[in-house]
Amino acid sequence: MPRHVAIPLLLLLALAAPVLAAAAPTYDVDYRVRLVPEDGTAEVAIVVGQDDGVLRELGLELDPDLYDDVRGDGEVEREGDRVTWLPPKAGGTLRYSHRIDHRRRGGGYDARITRDWALLRGDDLVPPARVRVAKGARSKATLHVAGPEGWTAQTQWPELEKGSFAVTNPEHSLARPTGWLIAGDIGIRLERVAGTLLVVAAPKGDSMRRNEILAMLNLVLPEMKAAFGRLPPKLLIVGADDPMWRGGLSAPQSLYMHSDRPLISENGTSTLVHEVVHVVTGVRGAGRDRWIGEGIAEYYSLRLLRQVGMLSDSRYERAMGWMDERGGEADSLRARLAQGAIRARAVVLFRDLDDEIRQESDGGKSLDDLVRVLMKDGSVDLEDLREAAQQVLGRPAKSLDVPLLDA
């Protein structure tokens, strides 16, 4: 090799060496879930494959009333809710059983398994975990869901093959299978909308209006992408009839909605669009400021339907009039819960704030710009909202200087 070629090559290798040496270690995690209708349980196995003990400790909060038969390779300690697992250096398996059926207070089920189907959240299969790992280590995770013969499954994650999903979360060293999961004898409709794989699933024979949901989101999702700048790569919408809870619940890249919920309510709002806004923006109010996330989602459920022509201008104005009247019953927006009058008043406030931003910018900006700022943090409070509004307006927002926010 000529000398003038060899020297640059040696220099390149020397520069690359620290990068190669600094490559973060990885460990494999297979979440293997077997749904057992006759027992009402999910049998969970967390299988870790690793070299030299990359994952040194895994801690889970497992309520004894919901999780039992905890055992595993290596060392397993359980003190009340707290389970600590020290896996062998070469890897191993932690196992436990999870009781699925769960009723919300005063309502229906938000997790349920029958002889034909199961509907629950992955967060309940594998609760939030504490891990101790080698410096910079990251997991390569997969989820495998099995059940009785003929059962199929859907999650928010990309499907590798039947019943197997790739689980990723670059923000954490351990990726967990969060979001909604449905399995069993289920009916599925799917379509790609605005770059998002939209999947709507419910038990076969259920009254869920899968095609109508697809049609509605065919109109709304492009507007939502224009407003917020992004959509998830996959959006899973699951539902079921009674005795499931008669409402809507969002989760990462997925949401649940009772099959009997109207797509547009009598007051013009939409549970479906409301929950999709939660999923897409990730904005949620912290502490006594729950009204922020709920108000944004409810306001956009009206505004977006108006934009796509599913609400006429007159119906939109009547809806806002109803919100104004209902919200008049609220003495303050700041509370641990944001329902009824508080939510309605929050809608009116965000309408006023949207109008203020548009007028100040001569139509160049809107509430969309403010929401994009909030999306960077996700969990926000009143101070965060005021700072974001000032960033967009260039001055404090008059709409946020009201007695309802003084308490």
pLDDT tens, position by position, 19-59? 444 577 899 999 999 999 999 999 999 999 998 889 999 99
For residue 223 the two structure tokens come to 């507007």
Cα angle value 95/73/120 (rounded, 5°)? 15
* Terminal Cα distance for the chain, rounded: 78
Contact by Cβ (8 Å): 126, 20: no
Please state, for a pLDDT cut of 70, what percent of the chain lies above it: 94
The tens digit of pLDDT for each residue in 92-113 reads 999 999 999 999 987 899 999 9
Residue with tokens 């939409």: 270
How confident is the model over 302-319, as pLDDT tens digits? Answer: 999 999 999 999 999 999
Return the closest-CA partner of residue 366 out of 352, 387, 345.
352
Map out the domains of the chain as residue ranges.
26-113+120-184, 262-405
Asked whether residue 7 carries a pLDDT value surpassing 80, the answer given is no
Residue type, 102: H
pLDDT tens per residue across span 339-363:
889 999 999 999 999 999 999 999 9
Considering the entire predicted model, what is its pTM? 0.90
Distance CA 60, CA 82 (A): 6
Closest CA to 237 of 276, 270, 206, 192: 276
Looking at residue 106, its amino acid is G
| Angle between helical axes of 290-307 and 210-228 (0-180°, round to 10) | 110
Q: Which residues of 184-206 are buried (b: 16+ CB within 10 A; e: fewer)?
A: bbbeebeeebeebebbbbbbeeb
Q: Is the pLDDT of residue 227 over 60?
A: yes
Residue 4 tokens read as 């003038």
Note the pLDDT tens digit of each residue in 396-405: 999 999 998 9
Phi and psi of 137, rounded to 5°? -70, 145
Sign of the dihedral through C-alpha 154, 158, 162, 164 = negative
Give the separation between CA 407 and CA 178, rounded to whole angstroms: 35
Quote the Cα angle for 275-278-280, to 5°: 110
* Distances, alpha carbon 6 to alpha carbons 11, 17, 18, 19, 350, in Å: 9, 17, 20, 21, 65
| Residue 326: C-alpha distances to residues 301, 303, 340 (Å) | 17, 18, 8
pLDDT tens for each residue of 130-147: 999 999 899 999 999 999
Q: Which residues pair with 61 in a beta bridge?
A: 82
Q: What DSSP string runs through 121-170?
A: EHHHHS--EEEEESTT-EEEEEEEEE-STT-EEE-SSPEEETTEEEE--T
Task: State the pLDDT confidence band at 407, using cuts at 50, 70 and 90.
Answer: low
Q: Mention every residue, 6+ apart, whose C-beta is less than 8 A from residue 190.
A: 197, 198, 199, 200
Confidence of residue 17 (pLDDT cuts 50, 70, 90): very low
Residue 13 in this model has a pLDDT that exceeds 90: no
Joined tokens for residue 123 = 């967060």
- How much of the chain is in helix, strand and coil states, percent to nearest 5? 35, 30, 35
**Residue 279 pLDDT greater than 60, yes or no:** yes
- pLDDT, average across residues 265-290: 95
- Predicted pLDDT of residue 8: 53
Third-level CATH fold of 26-113+120-184: Immunoglobulin-like (2.60.40)
